[in-house]
Structure 1
């Protein structure tokens, strides 16, 4: 094995711990925080709830964020038609529009799925341009 270049501790692509952090290992700061809060967590939560009930908007927001976490993406139960040609992209767009009109998808869900269809269409255009360019360059 060769010596790594100066200023680099490990060869490119290899770290000092190839196995990574062991499962269940915790950050030292979190372990220290847990030790500080040990036994006090319930008292602190009760105080935050009490402050929220008394109208403290910061405490209220904190409690609500814990009770109702921000919504994240979720799987959408919708099957796009198979995409192989530009005509398939038109069919997929029509299917998305129909699903929104029928109440099966929200407009924002359909918009996100349409981005996938648009990406597919863009990939076809780039592929076609590349093929045409190769034919032209080959003919000259």
Structure 2
């Protein structure tokens, strides 16, 4: 008796792992829908208005999940908001401490949220990198002029 596994002799019929489809067959076409989804859509076809009316009635009667469903459909998801606070001009790396202090003060006073400050911090970091690169290019140009 062999102890190497239950299908040791049938390796010819086994498919190679990691390659479930034959070459050229990439599976379900893009945009194709599941059969169960199509079946449910057919059952609900023509009932959307009645279902929506019932959900609204349930929400108006105080059903919490129905309220959430209706409000989720009525209100668009919250996007980034425009924020206004005093951020000092950053012309060199020496200006960075004043900018970060302004961000910390804005968070501490509630003008902006910590996540908004983090996003602003990323923008400030990118600006500092650009300022530093420009300063380096100017220094290099001066050194090349002096060496010529």
Q: TM-score, normalised by structure 1?
A: 0.53
Residues 1:66 and 2:80 aligned together: no
2:128 aligns to what?
121
User: What is the CA–CA distance in structure 2 between the aligned matches of 1:84 and 1:95, rounded to whole Å?
Assistant: 15
Instruction: Tell me how far 1:115 sits from its aligned partner.
Output: 1.9
1:95 aligns to what?
102
Instruction: Tell me how far 1:108 sits from its aligned partner.
Output: 0.9
Instruction: Tell me how far 1:50 sits from its aligned partner.
Output: 6.4
Deviations 1:42-79 (A, max 9, x none): 534214446889x9x7x877534213421101111312
1:111 aligns to what?
118
Instruction: Tell me how far 1:87 sits from its aligned partner.
Output: 2.4
5+ residue gaps, structure 2 = 1-46
User: What is the CA–CA distance in structure 2 between the aligned matches of 1:81 and 1:136, rounded to whole Å?
Assistant: 31
5 Å matches for 1:20-59?
42-49=49-56
Count, aligned residues: 100
Q: Which moved more, 1:43-52 or 1:94-103?
A: 43-52
Deviations 1:69-106 (A, max 9, x none): 21101111312112223222220111111221222221
Instruction: Tell me how far 1:121 sits from its aligned partner.
Output: 0.8
User: What is the CA–CA distance in structure 2 between the aligned matches of 1:73 and 1:88, rounded to whole Å?
Assistant: 27
User: Larger Rg: 1 or 2?
Assistant: 2
Residues 1:135 and 2:142 aligned together: yes
5+ residue gaps, structure 1 = 1-39
Q: TM-score, normalised by structure 2?
A: 0.51
Taking only aligned residues, the RMSD between alpha carbons, in angstroms, comes to 3.5
